[in-house]
Amino acid sequence: MTDEKRDIVIPSQLLGDADKLKAGRGTFIENGKIYAEKLGILSKKSDYVNIVPLKGRYDAIEGDFVIGIVEEPLSSSWLVNINAPYPALLHINEVPWDIEFGETDKYLNYGDAIMAKILEVNIEKKLQITLKDRNLYKIKGGYITYIEPSKVPRLIGKQGSMISLLKKYSNCRIFIGKNGRIWIDGKDDSIAKVIQAINIVENESTSFGLTDKIENLLKNRNSRVVQ
Amino acid sequence: MESDIKLIDADGKRLDGRKIDELRKIKIEAGVLHRADGSCYLEWGGNKVVAAVYGPREAIPRHSQNPLKAIVRARYNMAAFSVEDRKRPGPDRRSREISKVTSEALEKIVLTDKFPRAAIDVNIEVLEAEAGTRCAGLTAAGVALADAGIPMTDIPVACAAGKIGSNDENGKKTGGHVVLDLGKREDNFGDADLPIAISPRTGEIILLQMDGHLTLEEFDQALTLAIKGCNIISEIQKDALLEKYQKGLEVD
């Protein structure tokens, strides 16, 4: 966020020589040259050229906290949609409950939302998730909204500045999954306010001074509520 | 008879007033569909095409999965109202062939090994047709793939060249002209059509088909001309993507 210029790069755009720069995320090397492989924003950190994608599916990384929606209960596991290209497997050994074989649907059924952690991503990109960690549970109540997974860091902000701001002014409980799903719980009008702020963050994620703008918005709205 | 139509005049002007190496008017817009992961609307002369990309997502049926890489499934479809006489809806021999060659062309440029077992679906819908729809469809699909944020080595682009005007007004055979981007009547009454698709960064040919007869010299000439056309269209594709996403950066 320090460099003043933000450039859009499109696939196949030439980014530099491989002997001078290092190819980071979202790039590939061909014949000693670095090219962009996807649509995104160029960011150069030390010698690395990275591309922060603007769109695309969630790329699961081990240890990420995500919000999943149960797609199918199987006899000893569940298939959970976590917005990755593939459904994730949640095994009964990875939940805090003691479940009889074939009774998985009594605990989690189609449509239930859970907070989960990515346990494993194997070479075939088969995903496993777990509920055995702090603060992981089945979601009851609240509202789930969605932003592009690539914009999650922006919504959290530097050292969580943006998210703590939202929590402070709205009195909502907010959980941001790395896969772009966001759970908000609180009063109805506060939820609406948070969603409005999140939409602004998503639409203007590449502009500067966004945290201040959101703060102003939330402050103004608070005063209007008082009137 | 209409087949005796004079497709090119003595000054080298074509029926619609174009020069022999001139393209029809092209307009490309990226990201037009809300529910798709990526999309593109393209107008190319009288062609109107929408392309939508869904995925990468798990390939179903499972036996179609490749454990090492993603599969690209392009589906080319012409709307019933896209041509003058109503087209019988549904896949036919022609559209299945085009779907197949388009899938294979797109598979070449998508980094499929990043998504094992997945499928990337590309739906190409021809709303209005006026010759060269497979080129228009592939060009739109390229923009839609980039718009979906799918990793790829290049944005593919397609264009056709062909040969027209070997019949003069008395029905006698003459040399004919190699021209760029055939229009409807040029396609129907011309001598040959050569649609190609390339990867513009490397110049690699990812699709090449030919209908009609060309001599070896004419073929080389047509190929060079079509590649030239592809490079022009490639710039329009890139501008369309930049226009859509650069705007978001200028909000203050």
Domain that holds residue A37: 8-53
Report CA-CA distances (Å) from B6 to A1, B12, B15, B88, B145: 62, 11, 8, 31, 40
Same domain, A78 and A123: yes
Same domain, A162 and A188: yes
Record: contact A204-B201, CB cut-off 8 A? no
Sign of CA dihedral B127, B131, B136, B137: positive
Query: Would A22 be classed as within a structural domain?
Result: yes
Query: Would A3 be classed as within a structural domain?
Result: no
B92 or A221, higher pLDDT:
B92
Same domain, A114 and A181: no
Same domain, A42 and A73: no
For range A194-220, the mean pLDDT: 80
Where are the extended beta strands (E) located within B96-175? Answer: 118-128, 157-164
Same domain, A82 and A125: yes
- Chain B residue at shortest CA distance from A125: B116
Give the tens place of pLDDT for each residue, B26-76. Answer: 999 999 999 999 999 999 999 999 999 998 999 999 999 999 999 999 999
Q: What is the pLDDT of residue B12?
A: 83
For range B153-167, the mean pLDDT: 91
Is the confidence at residue A206, as pLDDT, over 80? no
Give the tens place of pLDDT for each residue, A50-94. Answer: 998 888 889 899 999 999 999 999 999 999 999 999 999 999 999
Q: What is the CATH number of the domain that holds A41?
A: 2.40.50.100
Same domain, A110 and A161: no
Same domain, A87 and A118: yes
- What is the pLDDT of chain A when averaged over all its residues? 87
The strands making up A22-23's β-sheet, listed across from edge to edge, are: A8-9, A40-45, A48-53, A22-23
Whole-angstrom Cα distance, residue A120 to residue A134? 17
Which residues of B lie closer than 8 Å to A, measured between beta carbons?
37-38, 55-58, 67, 111, 115-118, 146-155, 199-201, 238, 241-242, 245-246, 248-249, 251-252
- Chain A residue at shortest CA distance from B58: A86
Query: B195 falls in which pLDDT band (50, 70, 90)?
Result: very high
Same domain, A108 and A43: no
Residues of chain B with Cβ-Cβ distance to A55 below 8 Å are 37-38, 147-149
Q: Which residues contact B222 (CB under 8 A, 6 or more apart)?
A: B161, B162, B163, B178, B192, B194, B214
For range A169-181, the mean pLDDT: 91
For chain A, what is the domain count?
3
Query: Would A91 be classed as within a structural domain?
Result: yes
Q: Which of the residues A55, A124, A148 would you substitute to probe the B interface, choosing the one with the greatest number of B C-beta atoms within 10 Å?
A: A55
Q: A176-190, A202-216, B59-73, B177-191: lowest mean pLDDT where?
A: A202-216
Same domain, A121 and A70: yes
Record: contact A38-B37, CB cut-off 8 A? no
Record: contact B58-A86, CB cut-off 8 A? yes
Which residues of A lie closer than 8 Å to B, measured between beta carbons?
6, 8, 10-12, 26, 28, 30, 35, 37-41, 53-57, 85-87, 124-125, 150, 203-208
* DSSP summary character for residue A136: -
Q: What is the pLDDT of residue A227?
A: 36
- Chain A residue at shortest CA distance from B245: A8
Query: A212 falls in which pLDDT band (50, 70, 90)?
Result: confident
Residues of chain B with Cβ-Cβ distance to A6 below 8 Å are 249
Same domain, A155 and A202: yes
Domains of chain B in start order, with CATH, are 2-249 (3.30.230.70)
B7 or B50, higher pLDDT:
B50
- What is the pLDDT of chain B when averaged over all its residues? 92
User: Does residue A58 contact residue A31 with C-beta atoms inside 8 Å?
Assistant: no
Domain boundary among A80, A97, A130: A130
Same domain, A33 and A85: no
Query: Would A156 be classed as within a structural domain?
Result: yes
* DSSP summary character for residue A20: T
How far does CA B171 lie from the centroid of its chain? 32
